[in-house]
Amino acid sequence: MARYIIRRLLQMVVTFIGTTFVVYALMFANQNDPLQALAGDRPVSDNVRQVLTEQYHLNEPFLVQYGYYMQGLLTGDLGRTLTGRPIGDVMSDAWPNTIKLALLALFFATLFGITAGLVAGLRRGSIFDNTTLALTLVVVGLPIIVLAPIAQLVFGVKLGWFPTTAGARPSLYGLILPALVLGAASTATMMRLTRASVAENVRADYVRTARAKGLSARRVVAVHVLRNSLIPVITLIGVDLGTLMAGAIVTEGVFNIPGVGSKLLLGIQTEDGPLVVGFVSVLVIVFLVTNLLVDLLYAVLDPRIRYE
Protein backbone atom coordinates (compact mmCIF):
# COMPACT_ATOMS: atom_id res chain seq x y z
CA MET A 1 0.00 0.00 0.00
CA ALA A 2 2.71 2.46 1.02
CA ARG A 3 4.71 1.62 -2.08
CA TYR A 4 1.65 2.20 -4.21
CA ILE A 5 1.07 5.63 -2.68
CA ILE A 6 4.68 6.69 -3.13
CA ARG A 7 4.65 5.57 -6.73
CA ARG A 8 1.48 7.57 -7.37
CA LEU A 9 2.96 10.65 -5.69
CA LEU A 10 6.06 10.48 -7.87
CA GLN A 11 3.90 10.21 -10.97
CA MET A 12 2.12 13.33 -9.79
CA VAL A 13 5.29 15.40 -9.88
CA VAL A 14 5.86 14.50 -13.51
CA THR A 15 2.21 15.12 -14.42
CA PHE A 16 2.31 18.46 -12.64
CA ILE A 17 5.36 19.77 -14.49
CA GLY A 18 3.99 18.46 -17.76
CA THR A 19 0.65 20.21 -17.29
CA THR A 20 2.14 23.58 -16.37
CA PHE A 21 4.23 23.37 -19.50
CA VAL A 22 1.29 22.47 -21.71
CA VAL A 23 -0.98 25.13 -20.20
CA TYR A 24 1.72 27.76 -20.44
CA ALA A 25 2.28 26.81 -24.06
CA LEU A 26 -1.44 27.05 -24.80
CA MET A 27 -1.67 30.44 -23.13
CA PHE A 28 1.35 31.61 -25.07
CA ALA A 29 -0.18 30.44 -28.32
CA ASN A 30 -3.34 32.37 -27.48
CA GLN A 31 -1.40 35.47 -26.49
CA ASN A 32 -1.85 38.33 -28.87
CA ASP A 33 -1.73 41.61 -27.01
CA PRO A 34 -2.45 41.23 -23.29
CA LEU A 35 -1.95 44.93 -22.62
CA GLN A 36 -4.62 45.87 -25.12
CA ALA A 37 -6.91 43.12 -23.84
CA LEU A 38 -6.62 44.62 -20.37
CA ALA A 39 -7.21 48.17 -21.57
CA GLY A 40 -10.30 47.22 -23.55
CA ASP A 41 -11.40 49.82 -26.07
CA ARG A 42 -8.88 52.42 -24.92
CA PRO A 43 -5.61 52.76 -26.77
CA VAL A 44 -2.46 51.87 -24.84
CA SER A 45 0.11 54.62 -25.03
CA ASP A 46 3.54 53.77 -26.41
CA ASN A 47 5.55 54.32 -23.26
CA VAL A 48 3.17 52.29 -21.11
CA ARG A 49 3.38 49.49 -23.67
CA GLN A 50 7.18 49.69 -23.80
CA VAL A 51 7.70 49.56 -20.03
CA LEU A 52 5.12 46.88 -19.30
CA THR A 53 6.26 44.71 -22.20
CA GLU A 54 9.72 44.64 -20.70
CA GLN A 55 8.47 44.17 -17.16
CA TYR A 56 6.37 41.14 -18.05
CA HIS A 57 8.84 39.82 -20.68
CA LEU A 58 6.01 39.86 -23.20
CA ASN A 59 8.30 40.17 -26.20
CA GLU A 60 10.52 37.23 -25.20
CA PRO A 61 10.24 33.86 -26.93
CA PHE A 62 8.16 31.13 -25.31
CA LEU A 63 10.93 29.16 -23.64
CA VAL A 64 12.44 32.27 -22.08
CA GLN A 65 9.05 33.33 -20.69
CA TYR A 66 8.44 29.84 -19.35
CA GLY A 67 11.95 29.84 -17.88
CA TYR A 68 11.24 33.08 -16.00
CA TYR A 69 7.99 31.64 -14.75
CA MET A 70 9.48 28.36 -13.51
CA GLN A 71 12.39 30.23 -11.95
CA GLY A 72 9.92 32.33 -9.99
CA LEU A 73 7.81 29.30 -9.13
CA LEU A 74 10.76 27.43 -7.65
CA THR A 75 11.57 30.40 -5.42
CA GLY A 76 7.93 30.59 -4.32
CA ASP A 77 7.11 33.60 -6.50
CA LEU A 78 4.04 33.07 -8.64
CA GLY A 79 4.49 36.35 -10.49
CA ARG A 80 2.15 39.32 -10.77
CA THR A 81 -1.06 39.93 -12.66
CA LEU A 82 -1.04 42.55 -15.39
CA THR A 83 -2.43 45.08 -12.90
CA GLY A 84 0.56 44.44 -10.64
CA ARG A 85 -1.10 42.34 -7.95
CA PRO A 86 0.90 39.35 -6.66
CA ILE A 87 -0.72 36.18 -8.02
CA GLY A 88 -0.08 34.51 -4.67
CA ASP A 89 -2.47 37.02 -3.07
CA VAL A 90 -5.09 36.46 -5.75
CA MET A 91 -4.89 32.71 -5.16
CA SER A 92 -5.12 32.95 -1.39
CA ASP A 93 -8.25 35.10 -1.78
CA ALA A 94 -9.94 32.94 -4.38
CA TRP A 95 -9.18 29.39 -3.26
CA PRO A 96 -10.89 29.41 0.15
CA ASN A 97 -14.15 30.62 -1.45
CA THR A 98 -14.00 27.99 -4.13
CA ILE A 99 -13.11 25.18 -1.77
CA LYS A 100 -15.96 26.09 0.59
CA LEU A 101 -18.43 26.36 -2.26
CA ALA A 102 -17.35 23.15 -3.99
CA LEU A 103 -17.27 21.08 -0.80
CA LEU A 104 -20.68 22.36 0.25
CA ALA A 105 -22.08 21.63 -3.21
CA LEU A 106 -20.58 18.17 -3.09
CA PHE A 107 -21.97 17.64 0.40
CA PHE A 108 -25.51 18.48 -0.72
CA ALA A 109 -25.14 16.45 -3.89
CA THR A 110 -23.94 13.42 -1.99
CA LEU A 111 -26.50 13.76 0.77
CA PHE A 112 -29.53 14.20 -1.46
CA GLY A 113 -28.26 12.15 -4.37
CA ILE A 114 -27.36 9.04 -2.43
CA THR A 115 -30.36 9.14 -0.10
CA ALA A 116 -32.86 9.64 -2.89
CA GLY A 117 -31.05 7.16 -5.11
CA LEU A 118 -31.10 4.52 -2.39
CA VAL A 119 -34.80 4.93 -1.71
CA ALA A 120 -35.63 4.97 -5.42
CA GLY A 121 -33.48 1.91 -6.02
CA LEU A 122 -35.14 -0.08 -3.25
CA ARG A 123 -38.66 0.88 -4.33
CA ARG A 124 -38.41 0.72 -8.06
CA GLY A 125 -41.59 1.76 -9.86
CA SER A 126 -42.99 3.56 -6.84
CA ILE A 127 -44.35 7.11 -6.96
CA PHE A 128 -41.13 8.35 -5.34
CA ASP A 129 -39.04 6.66 -8.00
CA ASN A 130 -41.04 8.16 -10.85
CA THR A 131 -41.20 11.65 -9.35
CA THR A 132 -37.47 11.80 -8.76
CA LEU A 133 -36.86 10.52 -12.28
CA ALA A 134 -38.90 13.38 -13.68
CA LEU A 135 -37.24 15.90 -11.37
CA THR A 136 -33.72 14.78 -12.22
CA LEU A 137 -34.51 15.01 -15.90
CA VAL A 138 -35.62 18.61 -15.44
CA VAL A 139 -32.52 19.50 -13.42
CA VAL A 140 -30.14 17.83 -15.87
CA GLY A 141 -31.94 19.54 -18.76
CA LEU A 142 -31.74 23.02 -17.26
CA PRO A 143 -28.36 24.60 -17.85
CA ILE A 144 -26.90 26.28 -14.79
CA ILE A 145 -26.97 29.64 -16.55
CA VAL A 146 -30.78 29.42 -16.37
CA LEU A 147 -31.06 27.66 -13.04
CA ALA A 148 -28.82 30.05 -11.09
CA PRO A 149 -30.63 33.34 -11.86
CA ILE A 150 -34.04 31.70 -11.36
CA ALA A 151 -33.01 30.34 -7.97
CA GLN A 152 -31.63 33.75 -7.05
CA LEU A 153 -34.79 35.53 -8.12
CA VAL A 154 -37.17 33.13 -6.39
CA PHE A 155 -35.39 32.27 -3.15
CA GLY A 156 -33.28 35.41 -2.79
CA VAL A 157 -35.22 38.36 -4.16
CA LYS A 158 -38.88 37.28 -3.98
CA LEU A 159 -39.04 34.97 -0.97
CA GLY A 160 -36.03 36.38 0.85
CA TRP A 161 -35.08 32.99 2.35
CA PHE A 162 -31.43 33.33 1.42
CA PRO A 163 -29.11 36.31 0.85
CA THR A 164 -29.27 37.32 -2.84
CA THR A 165 -25.50 37.30 -3.17
CA ALA A 166 -22.82 35.74 -1.01
CA GLY A 167 -20.01 38.26 -1.53
CA ALA A 168 -16.25 37.95 -1.26
CA ARG A 169 -16.27 36.86 2.37
CA PRO A 170 -19.29 34.57 2.29
CA SER A 171 -21.01 33.20 5.36
CA LEU A 172 -21.98 29.54 5.42
CA TYR A 173 -25.62 30.56 5.20
CA GLY A 174 -24.95 32.73 2.17
CA LEU A 175 -23.28 29.80 0.43
CA ILE A 176 -26.19 27.37 0.82
CA LEU A 177 -28.20 28.57 -2.18
CA PRO A 178 -25.19 28.83 -4.53
CA ALA A 179 -24.03 25.39 -3.40
CA LEU A 180 -27.45 23.86 -4.05
CA VAL A 181 -27.48 25.41 -7.51
CA LEU A 182 -23.92 24.41 -8.28
CA GLY A 183 -24.50 20.89 -7.01
CA ALA A 184 -27.86 20.44 -8.73
CA ALA A 185 -26.57 18.63 -11.79
CA SER A 186 -24.28 16.45 -9.67
CA THR A 187 -27.16 15.62 -7.35
CA ALA A 188 -29.23 14.42 -10.28
CA THR A 189 -26.47 12.31 -11.82
CA MET A 190 -25.49 10.89 -8.48
CA MET A 191 -29.07 9.97 -7.75
CA ARG A 192 -29.52 8.15 -11.03
CA LEU A 193 -26.23 6.35 -10.60
CA THR A 194 -26.97 5.25 -7.02
CA ARG A 195 -30.42 4.08 -8.04
CA ALA A 196 -29.12 1.94 -10.89
CA SER A 197 -26.35 0.53 -8.77
CA VAL A 198 -28.62 -0.26 -5.82
CA ALA A 199 -31.26 -1.80 -8.06
CA GLU A 200 -28.66 -4.15 -9.47
CA ASN A 201 -27.04 -5.09 -6.16
CA VAL A 202 -30.31 -5.79 -4.41
CA ARG A 203 -30.65 -8.87 -6.56
CA ALA A 204 -27.05 -10.04 -6.05
CA ASP A 205 -26.27 -13.40 -4.53
CA TYR A 206 -24.52 -12.04 -1.47
CA VAL A 207 -27.61 -9.97 -0.59
CA ARG A 208 -29.80 -13.04 -0.76
CA THR A 209 -27.27 -14.87 1.39
CA ALA A 210 -27.27 -12.06 3.91
CA ARG A 211 -31.03 -12.09 4.07
CA ALA A 212 -31.02 -15.87 4.42
CA LYS A 213 -28.58 -15.55 7.34
CA GLY A 214 -31.37 -13.66 9.07
CA LEU A 215 -29.68 -10.22 9.12
CA SER A 216 -32.00 -7.29 9.73
CA ALA A 217 -33.23 -5.48 6.64
CA ARG A 218 -31.51 -2.31 7.81
CA ARG A 219 -28.14 -4.01 8.04
CA VAL A 220 -28.54 -5.67 4.68
CA VAL A 221 -29.26 -2.39 3.00
CA ALA A 222 -26.68 -0.25 4.79
CA VAL A 223 -23.72 -2.64 4.87
CA HIS A 224 -24.24 -4.99 1.98
CA VAL A 225 -26.23 -3.16 -0.66
CA LEU A 226 -25.17 0.45 -0.14
CA ARG A 227 -21.50 -0.17 0.48
CA ASN A 228 -21.11 -2.10 -2.74
CA SER A 229 -23.26 0.33 -4.67
CA LEU A 230 -21.04 3.25 -3.71
CA ILE A 231 -18.04 2.31 -5.85
CA PRO A 232 -19.25 3.97 -9.08
CA VAL A 233 -20.63 6.87 -7.04
CA ILE A 234 -17.26 7.52 -5.38
CA THR A 235 -15.65 7.64 -8.81
CA LEU A 236 -18.17 10.25 -9.83
CA ILE A 237 -17.53 12.30 -6.67
CA GLY A 238 -13.83 12.36 -7.42
CA VAL A 239 -14.36 13.68 -10.93
CA ASP A 240 -17.05 16.12 -9.82
CA LEU A 241 -14.96 17.81 -7.15
CA GLY A 242 -12.51 19.11 -9.72
CA THR A 243 -15.26 20.13 -12.12
CA LEU A 244 -17.14 21.95 -9.38
CA MET A 245 -14.02 23.96 -8.54
CA ALA A 246 -12.99 24.94 -12.03
CA GLY A 247 -16.42 25.16 -13.60
CA ALA A 248 -18.25 27.39 -11.14
CA ILE A 249 -17.91 30.45 -13.40
CA VAL A 250 -21.65 31.00 -13.77
CA THR A 251 -22.54 30.34 -10.15
CA GLU A 252 -19.71 32.57 -8.95
CA GLY A 253 -20.86 35.38 -11.20
CA VAL A 254 -24.55 35.17 -10.32
CA PHE A 255 -23.96 34.99 -6.58
CA ASN A 256 -20.91 37.26 -6.67
CA ILE A 257 -18.45 34.85 -5.10
CA PRO A 258 -14.98 35.72 -6.44
CA GLY A 259 -13.35 32.34 -6.76
CA VAL A 260 -11.25 30.20 -9.04
CA GLY A 261 -13.71 30.05 -11.93
CA SER A 262 -14.02 33.81 -12.31
CA LYS A 263 -10.27 34.34 -11.93
CA LEU A 264 -9.57 31.77 -14.62
CA LEU A 265 -12.03 33.49 -16.90
CA LEU A 266 -10.38 36.85 -16.24
CA GLY A 267 -6.95 35.36 -16.84
CA ILE A 268 -8.03 33.91 -20.17
CA GLN A 269 -9.73 37.13 -21.23
CA THR A 270 -6.69 39.26 -20.45
CA GLU A 271 -4.29 36.62 -21.85
CA ASP A 272 -2.56 36.57 -18.49
CA GLY A 273 -0.44 33.40 -18.74
CA PRO A 274 1.01 33.29 -15.21
CA LEU A 275 -2.42 33.86 -13.64
CA VAL A 276 -4.03 31.00 -15.56
CA VAL A 277 -1.11 28.63 -15.06
CA GLY A 278 -1.07 29.37 -11.33
CA PHE A 279 -4.69 28.43 -10.90
CA VAL A 280 -4.59 25.47 -13.26
CA SER A 281 -1.54 24.05 -11.48
CA VAL A 282 -3.41 23.97 -8.20
CA LEU A 283 -6.44 22.48 -9.95
CA VAL A 284 -4.23 19.76 -11.38
CA ILE A 285 -3.01 18.94 -7.89
CA VAL A 286 -6.61 18.83 -6.66
CA PHE A 287 -7.55 16.41 -9.45
CA LEU A 288 -4.55 14.19 -8.82
CA VAL A 289 -5.04 14.04 -5.07
CA THR A 290 -8.77 13.35 -5.24
CA ASN A 291 -8.18 10.62 -7.79
CA LEU A 292 -5.64 9.03 -5.51
CA LEU A 293 -8.08 9.22 -2.62
CA VAL A 294 -10.83 7.70 -4.74
CA ASP A 295 -8.57 4.82 -5.74
CA LEU A 296 -7.70 4.20 -2.11
CA LEU A 297 -11.37 4.33 -1.12
CA TYR A 298 -12.14 1.51 -3.58
CA ALA A 299 -10.02 -0.77 -1.44
CA VAL A 300 -11.87 0.29 1.69
CA LEU A 301 -15.29 -0.29 0.11
CA ASP A 302 -14.49 -3.55 -1.60
CA PRO A 303 -12.02 -5.79 0.22
CA ARG A 304 -11.40 -7.70 -2.99
CA ILE A 305 -9.45 -4.72 -4.37
CA ARG A 306 -5.81 -4.63 -3.30
CA TYR A 307 -2.93 -2.32 -4.30
CA GLU A 308 0.68 -3.38 -4.47
For residue 19, state whether it binds another protein (rule: CB under 8 A).
no
For residue 42, state whether it binds another protein (rule: CB under 8 A).
yes
What x-and-dash track marks residues 110-149 binding another protein by CB under 8 A?
Answer: ---------------------------------------x
End-to-end CA distance of the chain: 6
For residue 77, state whether it binds another protein (rule: CB under 8 A).
no
Candidate residues 56, 66, 255, 279; the one interacting with another protein per rule CB under 8 A: 255
Looking at residues 78 to 117 of the shown chain, list those that interact with another protein (rule: CB under 8 A): 83-85, 89-90, 93-94
For residue 29, state whether it binds another protein (rule: CB under 8 A).
no
Q: Looking at beta carbons only, is 192 or 263 nearer to another protein?
A: 263
For residue 31, state whether it binds another protein (rule: CB under 8 A).
no
For residue 152, state whether it binds another protein (rule: CB under 8 A).
yes
For residue 279, state whether it binds another protein (rule: CB under 8 A).
no
**What is the C-alpha to C-alpha distance for residues 280 and 267, in angstroms, rounded to an integer?**
11
By C-alpha distance, which of 86, 78, 82, 102 is closest to 33? 82
Residues lying near another protein in the complex (CB under 8 A)? 32-33, 36-43, 45, 47-48, 50-55, 59, 83-85, 89-90, 93-94, 149, 152-153, 156-157, 160, 163-165, 167-169, 252-258, 262, 269
